[in-house]
Amino acid sequence: MSLTGKTAIVTGSNSGIGLGIAWELARAGADVVLNSFTDSEEDHALAAEMAAETGVSVRYIQADMSKGEDCRALIEKAGRCDILVNNAGIQHVAPIDDFPVDKWNAIIAINLNSAFHTMAAALPMMRAAGWGRIVNIASAHGLTASPYKAAYVAAKHGIVGMTKTVALETAQEPITCNAICPGYVLTPLVEAQIPDTMKEYNMSREDVIKNVMLERQPSKEFATVEQLGGTAVFLCSDAAAQITGTTISVDGGWTAL
């Protein structure tokens, strides 16, 4: 699959799944725009490393996905957007009657509203180019729920719904819009939850991973960022041109339960 000549913007891509997807898109030949809210030497070094290793053009553009104007500015600054991967996301775990309002607002802004703004800004560019692929990174929590994750589950169900709407609005154009629903992937977002869960359940790291995190993942294995990158590349391929408005689960069987 060659994505040579296409420009891919991946939000929240200086770490974890976004970075893994950016690597696979670059390996498939797409020019890449990396993004996060930071603007560090490491961010720009990552772009330089990816460009050197894959031979494509890689830029890092700082933009805070919690702010609508930054989301739109990211797309405008990139100047071209053939492939849009809405990946930026955060998590907070608390019972609903104790859920901090600022955390609720931040999760809805970063995990849901940002995709509204980036898609609104990117679609005219895709229409002008006569081709477009939107890949929204939802979650198994876009299809099922867990306790204490009200904001995350609401945002992820919201992104699955918005994916379907955008797919219908673009159905007769050479543009597709789909969501990938990962189960647990061992990224910094998940790694950060391990120490608290160890304390909460008085369990070892291994037991937390196997009996708490992967409890609902029948494969008992984490999905990998490379597998998610491969799925995103597939959704950008010609073979996937009639796949639109749907979800692809990469969850080791979680949603089959």
Q: Is 23 in the site for ligand NAD (CB under 6 A)?
A: no
Give the torsion through C-alpha atoms of 177, 255, 185, 245, to 10 deg.
0
Query: 136 - beta bridge partners?
Result: 86, 179
Catalytic residue at 148? Answer: no
Nearest CB to ligand NAD, comparing residues 244 and 254: 254
- Quick one: which of 3, 9, 14, 149 contacts ligand NAD (CB under 6 A)? 14
Tell which one of 3, 10, 17, 78 touches ligand NAD (CB under 6 A).
17
Return the SS3 of 40: coil
One-letter amino acid of 65: M
Cα–Cα distance between 38 and 12 in angstroms, integer? 10
Would you count residue 66 as binding ligand NAD (CB under 6 A)?
yes
Cα separation, 22 vs 2, whole angstroms: 14
137 touches ligand NAD by CB under 6 A: yes
Q: Which is nearer to ligand NAD, 60 or 184 (CB)?
A: 184
Contact string (CB under 6 A) for ligand NAD, positions 91-110, x = contact: -------------------x
Q: Do 238 and 176 form a contact (C-beta atoms < 8 A)?
A: no
Q: Among residues 64, 85, 176, 254, which is the contact residue for ligand NAD, using CB under 6 A?
A: 64
* Strand 132-137 to 58-62 pairing: unpaired
Query: Looking only at residues 178 through 217 of this chain, which bind ligand NAD when binding is defined by CB under 6 A?
Result: 182, 184-185, 187-190
Q: Does 90 bind ligand NAD (CB under 6 A)?
A: yes
- Looking at the DSSP assignment, which residues form a beta bridge with residue 180? 137, 248
CA 89 to chain centre: 7
| Nearest partner of 175 among 222, 233, 235, 257, judged by Cα | 235
Closer CB to ligand NAD, residue 62 or residue 129?
Answer: 62
Name the site residues for ligand NAD (rule: CB under 6 A): 12-18, 36-37, 64-66, 87-90, 110-111, 137, 139, 182, 184-185, 187-190
Active site residue ranges = 152
